[in-house]
A and B are shown apart, each in its own frame.
Chain A
Amino acid sequence: MSTLVPLYVILPLATAFLIPIFGRLIKGFEKALLSLVLLFLTLLSVYILFNGIQEPIVYAVGGWEPVNDVPIGIHLVLDGLSVFILLITSLIGFLATFYAISYIKKYTAENNFYALLSLMIAGMNGVILTGDMFNLYVFLEIAVIASYALVAFGTEKQELEASFKYQILGGVASLFILFSIGMLYWKTQTLNMADISNILSGKDQDFFLLFTQVLLIAGFGLKAAMIPFHAWLPDAHSSAPSPISAMLSGVLIKAVGIYAILRLFFNLFMISYEISIVITVIGALSMVIGVFLAIGQWDLKRLLAYHSISQMGYVVIGVGMGMIIMVKGGNLSIASLAIAGGLFHLINHAVFKGLLFLNAGAIEYVTGTRNLKMLGGIAKDLPVTTSTSLGASLSISGIPPFNGFFSKLIIIIAAIKGQFYLLAILAVLVSIITLASFMKFQRYAFFNKKTFTRKVKEVPFTMCFSMIVLVILCLALSLLAIPGVREVVLTPAVDVIMRTTEYSSSIIGM
C-alpha cells in the first residue's frame, strides 16, 4: 500500500510532460490520457478511504532513514485528512476535464490547457501529501503558477488584467510564506513538520513565534480568500474559462488554503487562544461581508465568486469554534462536532460550487453572455442545465434534502451547544440572504421572458454528463450525516485534527 503514495504526484507530472510530445502526433491523445489518469486516482482514493487508515502511512522519498532519531530527507504522509481532500481534488478534477473536452474547443492551443491542468493537479496533490515545510512551498508554487497561466488562457482584455492582479497578490503572499519558513528554520534547525512540532512543544510562546504565526495566517489566508485578503478572487474566478473556475473555486482555495491552515495550526503549532480568536473572527467577517458584496452583482460568475468567500467563512467558523473549545478545555464532543461540520461543508461546497460554475459555463457557451440583465427565458430549451442549476441553488441555500442543509445544520447546532449565540444567528442570517441571492439568479437566468432571438439548444453530451453526476452527488452526500457512513469518511479526518500534536509522535515515534 505504501508504494501507491507517490503515484498521486508522479502520474499527473508525467502526463503534463507527455502531452507536448504526443499531442502533436495523435489527435485526442491528451484528453483520453488525462481523463484516465484522474479516474484512476479517484478510484484509488475511494479504495484507500474505505479500506480505513489506522495510522499514518509515512513514505521517505529517496530512502533516507532517520539518523539518531532525527529525520533527514523528505517524508510524504498519508493520513485521514489527506485522503479526504485528495478525494475532492481527483473527483472535481476528473469531472472538470470531462466537461472541458467540449468546452475548450472554442479556444486555441488546446494541448497547453490539458498540460497546465495536470501540472496544477500535480502541485495540489503534492501540497496535500507532503510532510516537509519547504517541499510545501515548492509544490504550492507549482500549483499556483499553473493557475496564473490558466486564468489568462483566453487572452482577452479582462482575463489578462485579472491574471496580472492575481499574480502580484499571490506572489506577495508566497513571499510571506517563504519568509516565515525561514524564521521557523532559524528557531528549530529542521524542516520536517513532525520534528518542528516536537521541538516547539518544549518551548513557550514568545513574540517571535507569534510573528511567524501571523505571517503564516496572512500568507495562507490570501490563498484561501479570507477577508481582508479577498481582492483577487472576484476578478480571477470570473474571468477564467469555466472548468478552470470550477477547479479554482472548488479545489484550489481548499487544497492550498484551508488544508494548510488546518495542518499547520492544529498539528504543527500548539493551539493557542489568540490564534483561535483571530481565525474565528476572520471566518465570521468572510461569511457576512462576502454575502453582502454578492447581492448587488449582475455578472453571473462574479456573483458565484463572491458567494465562494462567504461559504469558505462557514468552514473557517466551524474549525475556529472547535479550536476555541479545545483551548478552553471544554467539552471535546462539541469541538469534534464543530470540526466535523466544517469538513462536511468543505466537501459539499466543492461539489455544489463546481456544479454552479459548470452551469454558468454552459449558459455562456450557449448564449455568449454573462450579464444577468440580458439573459432570460431559456428554461425550456436547456432542460439539463436548468434542473441541475436548480438543484445546486437549493443546495447552497440549505434546503433539505440536499447536502448543504445538513452541513449548515451541524455547524449551527455546534455553535448553539458551545454557547456562541452570535455566530449561530449570523450563520442563519447569511443562509437566508444566500437563498434570496440565488432565487434572483434562477429567475433572471432561466425563468424570465425571453429577451434575445438567437436559437439556443442543449449543450453537448460531455458537459451534460459532468453536471448530472455532480447533482447526483449533491443528493448522495447528504447521506454523510448518517452515523454509519460518517464513521468511514469524516471521522478519520476529524480525529487527525482533534489529536493535535500527536501527529508528530505517530510519525517519528518519539
Chain B
Amino acid sequence: MEGLTPIVKKVAQLMSGIIFVYGIYIVVHGHLTPGGAFAGGIILAGAFILLILAFGSEVIRLKKEETGSSITESLSILLTLILAIGGLFIGTKVFFNNYLPKGEVGELISAGLIPIYNILIGIEVAAAIITIFLALVIFKEEEEER
C-alpha cells in the first residue's frame, strides 16, 4: 500500500513516539490510576498502526510483521499462564494466587503481581490489535493484485 504526503509522514514520526510513551505510562501505572492493561495496550497499538498507515509498505514485509506479532501475542499469554500456575506451588497453593510481597498503598512497586500482569497483558492486547489490522490489510492487498 502507498504512503501518504510528506507532511503526514513527518507529523506521524513525531507523534508516534509521544503516543508510545503515553501508552507505557498508562500500562505501568495500572494499579494507581485508571487505565491498566486493556486501555494501555490499545494506545500502544495505535502508535504502530499510525506509522504503518503513514508510510505504507509492501505485502511481503507486512506478512513478516504479522508472523512476529502473532508469536508475541501467544508468548505473552503463555508467560501469564506460567506465572498464574506458579501460584499452585508457592504460598497458599491455589491457582492465580498473588504471591509477591505487597508494599504500601500508592507506591509504584506495590500490590504484588498485579503490575507484572498489567505489563504482560498490555503487550498482548497491543500485539492482538496489530495482528487483526495487518490481517485485514494483507487480505485487501492480495485482493487488489488479482
- Fill in one digit per residue for B18-34: 1 if any A CB lies within 8 Å of its CB, else 0: 00000000000000000
Smallest CB-CB separation from B94: which chain A residue?
A: A63
* Contact between chains at B96 and A17 (CB < 8 Å): no
> A20 to B78, Cβ gap below 8 A?
no
Q: List the A residue with the shortest CB-CB distance to B85.
A: A10
Q: What 1/0 mask marks residues of chain A from 1 to 25 whose CB sits below 8 Å from any chain B CB?
A: 0010010001001100110110010
Q: Which residues of A contact B93 (CB under 8 A)?
A: 3
CB of B92, distance to nearest CB on chain A (Å): 5
Contact between A61 and B95, CB atoms less than 8 A apart: yes
B1 CB within 8 Å of chain A: no
Q: Does B98 sit within 8 A of A, measured CB to CB?
A: yes
Q: Are A21 and B81 in contact (CB under 8 A)?
A: no
A6 and B95 contact, Cβ closer than 8 Å, known pairs A21-B71, A21-B75 = yes
- Is A266 an interface position by the 8 A CB rule? no
Interface size on A, residues (CB 8 A): 15
Partner of B71, one of A3, A14, A20: A20
Question: Is A60 located at the chain interface by the 8 A CB criterion?
Answer: yes
Collect the chain A residues with CB atoms within 8 Å of residue B70's CB.
20
B89-104 Cβ-contact flags toward A at 8 Å (1 or 0) = 0011111111000000
Q: Assess whether B138 is interfacial by the CB under 8 Å rule.
A: no
User: How far is the CB of B38 from the nearest CB of chain A, in Å?
Assistant: 14
When the two chains form their complex, are residues B95 and A10 in contact, meaning their CB atoms are under 8 A apart? yes
Assess whether A509 is interfacial by the CB under 8 Å rule.
no
* B57 sits at the interface (CB 8 A): no
- Which residues on the A side are within 8 Å of B67 (C-beta)? 24
Select from chain A the residue with minimum beta-carbon distance to B77.
Answer: A17
- Interface check A344, CB cutoff 8 A: no
With a cutoff of 8 Å between Cβ atoms, the chain A residues found around residue B91 in the complex are 63
B13: CB under 8 A from chain A?
Answer: no
| Chain A contact surface mostly | helix
Total residues of chain B contacting the partner, CB 8 A: 19
Interface presence of B88 (CB below 8 A): yes
CB distance from A348 to the nearest CB of B (A): 34
Cβ contact within 8 Å between B74 and A63 = no
Query: Of B78, B91, B96, B97, which is in contact with the most chain A CB atoms at under 10 Å from its CB?
Result: B96
A483 at the interface (CB under 8 A from B): no
A60 to B93, CA, bound (A): 11
Given A3-B88, A20-B71, A21-B71: A62 touches B97 (CB 8 Å cut-off): yes
Interface string of A40-57 (1 = CB under 8 A from B): 000000000000000000
Question: Taking CB as reference atom, which chain B residue is nearest A23?
Answer: B74
What separation, in Å, do the CA atoms of A60 and B94 have in the docked complex? Answer: 8
- Residue from the list A6, A18, A60, A62 in contact with B74, Cβ < 8 A: A18
The one of A10, A21, A24, A62 in contact with B94, judged by C-beta atoms closer than 8 angstroms, is A62
Contact yes or no, A20 B81, CB < 8 A: no
Asked, given contacts A59-B94, A61-B96, A63-B92, whether A10 binds B74 with beta carbons under 8 Å apart, the answer is no
The reply to whether A10 and B81 form a contact with Cβ atoms under 8 Å apart is yes
**9 shortest interchain CB distances as A-B pairs:** A63-B94, A6-B95, A17-B74, A63-B92, A62-B96, A20-B74, A17-B77, A21-B74, A63-B97
Instruction: Give B contacts to A, CB under 8 Å.
Output: 67, 70-71, 74-75, 77-78, 81, 85, 87-88, 91-98
What are 24 A-B pairs at a CB distance below 8 A? A6-B95, A10-B95, A13-B81, A14-B78, A17-B74, A17-B78, A17-B81, A20-B74, A21-B71, A21-B74, A21-B78, A24-B67, A59-B94, A59-B95, A61-B94, A61-B95, A62-B94, A62-B95, A62-B96, A62-B97, A63-B92, A63-B94, A63-B97, A63-B98
Interface residues of A (CB under 8 A from B): 3, 6, 10, 13-14, 17-18, 20-21, 24, 59-63
Q: Given A21-B75, A62-B97, 9 more contacts at CB 8 Å?
A: A3-B88, A10-B81, A10-B85, A14-B78, A20-B70, A60-B94, A61-B94, A62-B96, A63-B91
